[in-house]
A = this chain, B = another copy of it.
């Protein structure tokens, strides 16, 4: 049996990336009508995480905000004035939602991807029973198919430093496929439903409901695979049509992976089957990521109840 502290404050972030439109428009709407996301047992605060990027409908102004939630930045009271806008913003958000501020219990961060990842739930740890039980609740009760992407990894270079770290618990709802700068009604409605299902879970948790032990299937990150590139570091190949949109499907040794600009197939030559995700995500070209290779795992989720004093 695990316990966790009662939840008093939940933040819902949209526009951590300014051109991911369903989170932006849900949060804009909830800022006008905060009652829609309140529950009797806790406060929910909507927030446009990167307002300048939202205004310009760009992913970011200077650097990717969703990689700035580092211990270094969390320790700052005031970043140097020359620091990128998003460093200032991460420090500001930490002062409001993080340990230097009101210390929010749960961060729900809304994202979109151009990849065909469906209703992906992203979590950073396999150890946090509260978040795992919330994820299991989404899988069982949202009425939506929800693959779970686990970014926990021992390789420091793969550290995410994303906005979920502001809270005690956190989850990203990464819905796709949606082009940057486009609002798809279907995705907006699914994003809305997932947020409400999270809030339902939290309210039940606060009221003392016991969540039984469970197992949870997740896709754990292994490594990234970049596009083949030429001497100028520009693309020399594209995601193969047989791999495109096949997020969460097995990629087996010998399967087509890339197609060169000249029309030649490049096969996957790894030793073992992997499960790609974030295939052909627009924002990852500059990061050198054609897709994430993941492995399928089953986690044990311990029984959970709210901690009583």
Residue from B29, B240, B259, B282 in contact with A181 in the complex, judged by beta carbons closer than 8 Å: B282
Contact B28 A184 (CB under 8 A): no
Which residues of chain B have C-beta atoms less than 8 A from A184's C-beta? 238-239, 244, 280
A114 within 8 A of B: yes
* In-complex Cβ contact of A25 among B241, B261, B282, B286 (8 A): B261
Within 8 A of B (CB), among A213-249: 234-235, 238-241, 244
- Bound-state Cα–Cα, A35 to B181, Å: 37
| A262 contacts B by Cβ under 8 Å | yes
- Report chain B residues within 8 Å CB of A235: 25, 183
Given A234-B28, A285-B57: A259 touches B185 (CB 8 Å cut-off): yes
Query: Chain A, 251-291, contact with B by CB distance < 8 Å: what is the 0/1 string?
Result: 00000000101110000000000000000111101100000
From known contacts A114-B179, A180-B180, infer whether A185 and B241 are also in contact, taking CB-CB under 8 Å.
yes
On whether A186 and B261 interact (CB within 8 A), knowing A57-B285, A181-B180, A181-B285, the answer reads no
Judge if A137 is at the interface, Cβ distance under 8 Å.
no
Q: Which residue of B lies closest to A178 (CB)?
A: B179
Say whether A182 faces chain B, with CB atoms less than 8 Å apart: yes
Q: State how many angstroms separate the Cβ of A287 from the closest Cβ of chain B.
A: 12
